[in-house]
Structure 1
Amino acid sequence: MASSPRAPKTYQAFLFDMDGTLITSTAAAERVWTRWAQRHGLDVATFIPTIHGVRAADTIRRQNLPDIDLAAEVAWVERGEIEDVDGVAPIPGAIDFVRRLPPDRWAVVTSATVPLARARLAAAGVTPPALMITAEQVERGKPDPAGYRLAAQTLGFDVADCLVFEDAEAGIKAGEAAGADVVVVTAAWTHPLETPHPRLADYAQARLAIEDDGRLRFAA
């Protein structure tokens, strides 16, 4: 007797990274970080691919620059990123996709600060979710899983029953370490990477269903 096809997996909640996942802000971020790198004599081509998906403080700390005021440098970068939102836009289909989600079934987990996250979401026309986990709320940023675990916990669900949407290596590792399933959004990629996870070019091709019990079903 032939076995019955397995039903598509459903989830209690969706957890989204922001930059490169819901919105495209790569060009704006790289403009600011390029100026920062030039101020400190760093090799821009080598440095820029390392900035994505991680907190500004962690990026700066990794450079091991002598006699640096970390808080002042973070503030300089944040101010530049808040002021430069030229070209920031939603990933195709993202606005409609998240509008269809119940407010208590999704969150944003970002390495940006609250002011930067709100500035970029506003520039892209994306309404902020009821829950945002930002750089200020975790002791350790991505690739540490703390942000995704906190989001799931705050929503009231097991993180293993959540689906993480990511685009950058640090965020993908954070989702994996949290124990969640991961889907990788490739729409804003400028530095492609190998991943074993399902890929989503953009949300225009995504299929979403909400079950009677509130569980979410997703297919690319």
Structure 2
Amino acid sequence: MTGIIDPGEEPADAAVRETYEEASIRAVPEKLAMVQALAPSQYDNGDQAQFLDLVFKLRWRAGAPHPADGENTDARWFSLENLPDMPQNMLNRVHAAVADTPETTFSWAQPTTVVQEIDEPRGFSASAAAALFDMDGTLVDSTSVVEGVWAEFAQQHHINLSELLDYAHGRRTMETVERFLPEGQNVQLATSVLDEKQLTRVDGIVEIPGASRFLRQLAGSPMAIVTSAPRQLALNRLRAAGLHVPEVLVAAEDVRTGKPSPEGYLEATRRLGVLPNECIVFEDAEAGLLAANRSGVRRTVVVGRHASSTTTALDRILDYTNISINRNGRTTTFTQKAESHPRRRRHVIPFEQC
């Protein structure tokens, strides 16, 4: 049955009404089976229209089919194995309605990337009782090592490297291995091999500009590092970059669930003896930014150029060369001066991060 919704009528009510008016069948709607935009059409008078087609599955309650309103010449039941000839678009509607699935069928031309304009780091001032830092990409630049190790893994198992790196950044090694390792392979063994490779490779690891000076200025103030790396790997990279290692370091083995779970940041606040809403977090990756936001911290600062819908309202620094601190009792104020002539940059980001 097909028909047009009357003004003010609900679509499901229209389906029920049209079924009774055209075939004298009483039925009730069970699900919205398909949504599609039909091709634009033009009437003889020049008017143009495009219809949104809604396909409902209805269940029979009463009545025997017959052409009730004079618009049709015949109406009868057909088995799915013996359907009459009909256009493909009508057959698609039937298949969508009888499909054994609760989901609605629809089409979507999903983009692969979007272009987002972000401001260069603007000025900000934020006060907190404690500072929490991610490590890789936030304090330490280990890009060459990390991407090299994952490239070997991707080549060995025929995995798309770009997709793997997008997912891996900010997450524990095992969680990435679990997602990408082909079925039937030993996840724990593959994880151990990857961790061992990263543990021994420190060439090319450097600090994010200004990080060493910044951490020295914070010495004596409550601070912690919350990383997805195993503890020994984190220590090796921090030392290779010449960075101060704070007393509180929450590593991969210290939590049951890694980022984007807030567990690591909450564990850091517990060890420091502060509340989440007394803390400022410095993070560079999507998983870590989500973890920080979910932990309920006072302020989250993006380090670097990562852009997504998560970062829209967050403060940003490119590195630590233009940020200063001022202590007042148990509170530290972090300040970044605004640029005289702020610029906007265009960033192409994966659609799934929007």
Give the TM-score, by structure 1 length: 0.91
Aligned equivalent of 1:218? 334
Equivalent position SS for 1:208: strand
* In structure 2, C-alpha distance between the alignment counterparts of 1:135 and 1:45, rounded to whole Å: 23
Report the alpha carbon displacement of residue 193 of structure 1 after superposing the two structures with TM: 2.1
User: Contact 2:226 / 2:265 at 8 angstroms: preserved in 1?
Assistant: yes
Runs of 4+ off more than 2 Å: none
* In structure 2, C-alpha distance between the alignment counterparts of 1:62 and 1:120, rounded to whole Å: 25
1:209 to 326, 334, 348: 326
* In structure 1, C-alpha distance between the alignment counterparts of 2:300 and 2:173, rounded to whole Å: 23
* In structure 2, C-alpha distance between the alignment counterparts of 1:64 and 1:37, rounded to whole Å: 9
Q: How many residues align?
A: 209
Aligned equivalent of 2:261? 144
* In structure 1, C-alpha distance between the alignment counterparts of 2:307 and 2:167, rounded to whole Å: 12
* 1:18 matched to 2:135: yes
Equivalent position SS for 1:97: helix
Report the alpha carbon displacement of residue 214 of structure 1 after superposing the two structures with TM: 2.1
Report the alpha carbon displacement of residue 104 of structure 1 after superposing the two structures with TM: 4.9
Equivalent position SS for 2:225: strand
Report the alpha carbon displacement of residue 65 of structure 1 after superposing the two structures with TM: 2.3
User: Contact 1:145 / 1:175 at 8 angstroms: preserved in 2?
Assistant: yes
Matches within 5 A, 1:37-116: 37-63=154-180, 65-116=182-233
User: Contact 1:17 / 1:109 at 8 angstroms: preserved in 2?
Assistant: yes
* In structure 2, C-alpha distance between the alignment counterparts of 1:116 and 1:9, rounded to whole Å: 31
* In structure 1, C-alpha distance between the alignment counterparts of 2:166 and 2:126, rounded to whole Å: 33
Report the alpha carbon displacement of residue 47 of structure 1 after superposing the two structures with TM: 1.7
Aligned equivalent of 1:4? none
2:243 to 119, 126, 142: 126
2:300 to 154, 172, 182: 182
Report the alpha carbon displacement of residue 44 of structure 1 after superposing the two structures with TM: 1.4
Gaps of 5+ in 1: 1-7
* In structure 2, C-alpha distance between the alignment counterparts of 1:9 and 1:110, rounded to whole Å: 23
Equivalent position SS for 1:121: helix
The structure with the largest strand share of the pair is 2
* 1:157 matched to 2:274: yes
1:64–1:39 Cα change, 3 Å: closer
User: Contact 1:55 / 1:112 at 8 angstroms: preserved in 2?
Assistant: yes
Aligned equivalent of 1:193? 307
Counterpart of 2:301, as a letter, is V
User: Contact 1:103 / 1:130 at 8 angstroms: preserved in 2?
Assistant: no
Gaps of 5+ in 2: 1-124, 337-354
User: Contact 1:54 / 1:170 at 8 angstroms: preserved in 2?
Assistant: yes
1:168 to 285, 299, 315: 285
User: Contact 2:164 / 2:180 at 8 angstroms: preserved in 1?
Assistant: no
Counterpart of 1:175, as a letter, is A
* In structure 2, C-alpha distance between the alignment counterparts of 1:9 and 1:54, rounded to whole Å: 27
Counterpart of 1:170, as a letter, is A
Report the alpha carbon displacement of residue 38 of structure 1 after superposing the two structures with TM: 1.0
* In structure 2, C-alpha distance between the alignment counterparts of 1:57 and 1:164, rounded to whole Å: 24
Report the alpha carbon displacement of residue 64 of structure 1 after superposing the two structures with TM: 5.5
Deviation per CA, 1:108-155: give whole Å up to 9, x if none.
000000111011111101121111000000000000000000101110
* In structure 2, C-alpha distance between the alignment counterparts of 1:13 and 1:164, rounded to whole Å: 9
Aligned equivalent of 1:117? 234
Give the TM-score, by structure 2 length: 0.57
Counterpart of 2:307, as a letter, is L
Equivalent position SS for 2:213: helix
Equivalent position SS for 1:34: helix
User: Contact 2:181 / 2:187 at 8 angstroms: preserved in 1?
Assistant: no
Report the alpha carbon displacement of residue 101 of structure 1 after superposing the two structures with TM: 1.1
